[in-house]
Amino acid sequence: MKVFTQGLSVALLLGLGFSAHAHAQKHVHGEGELLIAQEGNVLQMQFIIPAADALGFEHQAANSSDKNAINVLAQQLKNSSHAIDIKGQCILQSTENSLAHGHSEHDEHDHHNVEATYNFNCKTPVMGFSVTLFNLMPSLNALNVQWISNTGQGSTEVTRSNPVISWQS
């Protein structure tokens, strides 16, 4: 059985055809992105959310209240159930988010994204997903979803009122 490290996992996402997302990428507040890659038992998900929706601000943490908001969200995002509900038996292997690194290196840009990546190992076929992140982030309204799986690829949009992605084929 292959063991994927964090570094290889990112390579898998990129290797499957997703372009690297620059932090400076223009974004629309209220709209995020979700990239899903599945290869064998390995399922990876990457959320890219405007910081305005994730945190309520995009400036550098200016005071203890900002820093507290970052710490709270960083902890919440570690629990994958705050982001996604997977229709399948998948065990979270690892997760990371950009909040842990701070965003001091991106301060030349006006817009910031918060990124969270989850690596799962799935024991059953995945039938779909329901995005729970909308519950955590009240101003987030939609996610553009792209996926590449064992059986093909596609894209869709999920919204606060319709957060379900179906993989039944």
Which residues of the shown chain bind Zn ion in the complex (CB under 5 A)?
50, 52, 58, 111
Identity of the residue, 32 or 50, whose beta carbon is nearer to Zn ion in the bound complex: 50
Q: Amino acid letter at 9?
A: S
Identity of the residue, 13 or 52, whose beta carbon is nearer to Zn ion in the bound complex: 52
- Minimal distance, residue 8 CB to Zn ion, in Å: 31
- Return the CA Rg of the chain: 16
* Distance of alpha carbon 61 from the chain centroid: 21
- Minimal distance, residue 1 CB to Zn ion, in Å: 41
Identity of the residue, 109 or 123, whose beta carbon is nearer to Zn ion in the bound complex: 109
- Minimal distance, residue 19 CB to Zn ion, in Å: 20
Identity of the residue, 34 or 52, whose beta carbon is nearer to Zn ion in the bound complex: 52
- Minimal distance, residue 51 CB to Zn ion, in Å: 7
Identity of the residue, 114 or 145, whose beta carbon is nearer to Zn ion in the bound complex: 114
Which residue is closest to Zn ion by CB? 111
| Cα 119 to Cα 161: distance, rounded to the nearest angstrom | 26
**Beta strands across the sheet bearing 84-87:** 84-87, 128-131, 164-166
- Minimal distance, residue 52 CB to Zn ion, in Å: 5
Q: How far is CA 26 from CA 48, 72, 113, in A?
A: 12, 26, 10
CA atoms within 13 A on the CB side of 94: 10
